[in-house]
A = this chain, B = another copy of it.
Amino acid sequence: MPEQRKEIGIGLIGGGYMGKAHAVAFSAVGAVFDTALRPRLEVIAAGSPESAESYRRAFGFARAATDWQALVADPAVEAVVIASPQTTHRAIAEAAFAAGKPVFCEKPLGASIADAEAMVAAAEEAGLPNMIGFNYVRTPATRFVRDLLAEGAIGDVVWFRGEHTEDFLADAQAEANWRCRGRANGTMGDLAPHMINCARALMGEITTLSAQIETVHPTRPGADGPMQVDNDDQGQMMVRFANGASGHLFFSRVATGRKMGYAYEIHGTKGAIRFDQEDQNAIWLYRAEGPEATRGFTKILTGPAHPDYLPFCQGPGHGTGYQDQIIIEARDFLEAIATGAPVWPTFREGLAVARVIETAFASASDGRWHTVPQA
């Protein structure tokens, strides 16, 4: 055992919602997981030097950068974490790969399919660790569900229903903001990627789909009178998976009452599974075995018997939370760097998800079933 663990300098771009989450994650991950690489919070960049300095102080980075180019160029920065607006993802990632640095990028991969394709190409040409921030598949619960499916605990899967629903724009009178402009900020761009990633993680490829997408409230009050909303409020699709099962996906930012409605249910020939992120420490498992009189859905509380739980707590039922997912994500990224082995989900998964969304828009406009181009 060497006396000190090897360190790695982290550069973080963005200090808002996800930026902070990553800052905390890289502060804590070394103690939680005893990672081979211990992160050193080296440089943070943000929209302006002033906000960067304010984030630096708050999160404990060594230096604030004047812009992301400076951060990427900084020799002490050995890995780059992108948590800035989608339109910036591609340029940053390309620059980082060009500088030979591994990249972790928040979802969605880029602001368009073209961006996503370019980013995958850059990552794969560089041959550098790359990862996309689908955090919700990383809970002990959902990782355990993957294990259950893999071991055939519920037999052959015949149905998958997934949703990602929230209600932050449910109020028709809520003032229009940046979320109401641009396809990438709509529900299909913002919420759908998580659940499409989840469906793929649990079920495999989506081969065909028929979708419907709509703007429920096309006009909202704005600062200077009524404002046009140019992206979607909710969308749904009927899907067919490569494994033969059919399914349904639903996404909404106007789902009144839903706060973190990342939820799925899966029917198999020998059992069923239900999960809802709003109660992220419980997996509901039904197994068609034993006497009828004692069958039912079992509410399993996460604990040390489930993936990645023990490092957070030795007691079952004590629970993990949102921030812990980001810590697990940081662990995976550090592992990818330390071992050089790709850690799922890589940029390619981000592209595959983007293709499903692209296909959904195409289907929604002609009302037919479409085949999803594989990534």
Interface residue? A323 (CB, 8 A): yes
How far does the alpha carbon of A254 sit from the alpha carbon of B268 in the complex, in Å? 8
Q: Name the interface residues of A27-54: CB closer than 8 Å to any CB of B.
A: 27-28, 30-32, 34, 38, 54
What's the least CB distance linking A323 to chain B, in Å?
A: 5
Evaluate contact between A256 and B212: CB separation under 8 angstroms: no
Evaluate contact between B59 and A315: CB separation under 8 angstroms: no
Stretch at the interface among A93-101, A119-127, A270-278, A349-357: A270-278
Stretch at the interface among A77-85, A301-309, A336-344: A301-309
Chain A 270-303: CB-based contact to B (< 8 A → 1; otherwise 0): 1110000111111001101001111111111101
Q: Name the interface residues of A219-278: CB closer than 8 Å to any CB of B.
A: 233-234, 236, 238, 246, 248, 250, 252, 254-261, 267-272, 277-278
Copies in the complex: 4
Evaluate contact between B318 and A172: CB separation under 8 angstroms: no
Evaluate contact between B272 and A57: CB separation under 8 angstroms: no
Stretch at the interface among A15-23, A68-76, A104-112, A178-186: A15-23
Q: Which residues of B contact A293 (CB under 8 A)?
A: 144, 300, 303, 305-306
Q: Given A57-B3, A288-B256, A300-B294, does the pair A314, B268 have CB atoms closer than 8 Å?
A: no
Evaluate contact between B292 and A301: CB separation under 8 angstroms: no
Evaluate contact between A317 and B238: CB separation under 8 angstroms: no
Evaluate contact between A319 and B27: CB separation under 8 angstroms: no
Interface residue? A201 (CB, 8 A): no
| A to B CB contacts below 8 Å, 10 in the list | A31-B58, A38-B60, A254-B269, A256-B267, A256-B271, A258-B272, A292-B303, A292-B305, A293-B306, A321-B323
In addition to A292-B305, A294-B298, 19 A-B residue pairs with Cβ atoms within 8 Å of each other are A1-B54, A158-B233, A158-B234, A158-B254, A170-B288, A210-B210, A248-B248, A256-B270, A259-B318, A278-B281, A278-B301, A278-B319, A280-B319, A293-B300, A295-B298, A297-B299, A312-B323, A323-B323, A367-B369
Question: 8 tightest A-B contacts by CB?
Answer: A259-B317, A321-B321, A257-B286, A260-B317, A293-B305, A257-B272, A296-B300, A318-B322
